[in-house]
Amino acid sequence: MDLYSQNIIDHYKNPRNRGRLKDGNLAHNEANYSCGDKLSVDLKVENEVIKVFKFTGGGCAISQAAMSILGESIKNKSIDEILELNFSNIKKMLGVPISERRLKCALLGLMTIQNALLKKQGKEMKKWTDYIEE
């Protein structure tokens, strides 16, 4: 199956929840330095639950679409639920085959959200190897 499904291209061209949040209470950004993809997220978290999510960033279709797709599914989820997500959840959400060379593109969104939450909890943030060794 094609990595660039209709759905991926649609999310790339029309990203959901794109923008900044003025009244958010959590912000974080990550980059994949090996290719230059960047994501910044703004979150509003109330009682350990994600209420509002916005993101900005730039990069390839996979990194940006994956963020848009993941972002749609995290609203009203608890911090714990989100911290449990892993690469196989992302693969399922994207619904396309992810080759090794695109692994980081697909994971950058998840890493940005999870590290925002880990930062808030004062815990150690995740690195690429934490995802790839899973």
Partner 1 sequence: MNNLRQQFPILSQKINGQPLVYFDNAATAQKPQAVLDAINDFYTKYNSNVHRSFNPLGEKATQLYEEARQKVAQFINAKSAPEIIFTSGTTESINLVAQAWGQRNLKKGDRVVISIAEHHSNFVPWLQLKEEVGIEIDVIPLSNDYKLDIKKARTLLQQNNVKLLAITGCSNVLGEITNLQPLLDEARERGIVTLVDAAQLIAHEKIDVQKLGCDFLAFSGHKLFGPTGIGVLYARKELLEQMPAWQGGGEMIQEVHQDSFTVNELPHRFEAGTPNIAGAVGLGAAIDFVMENFDIIKKREQELTEYFLEKINQLDFIKLVGGQESKNRAPVFSFTIDGVHPHDAADILGERGIILRAGHHCAQPLHESLSLEATLRASLSFYNTTEEIDKFFKELTLVYKKFQ
Q: List residues binding partner 1 (CB under 8 A).
A: 3-4, 9, 12-13, 35-37, 58-62, 101-102, 105
- CA 110, CA 87: separation in Å to the nearest integer? 8
CB of 56 to partner 1, least distance (A): 14
- CA 46, CA 76: separation in Å to the nearest integer? 9
Closest CB to partner 1 among 25 and 36? 36
CB of 61 to partner 1, least distance (A): 5
Strand partners, 37: 32
**Edge to edge, what strands does the sheet with 26-32 contain?**
26-32, 37-46, 49-58
CB of 34 to partner 1, least distance (A): 8
Closest CB to partner 1 among 62 and 79? 62
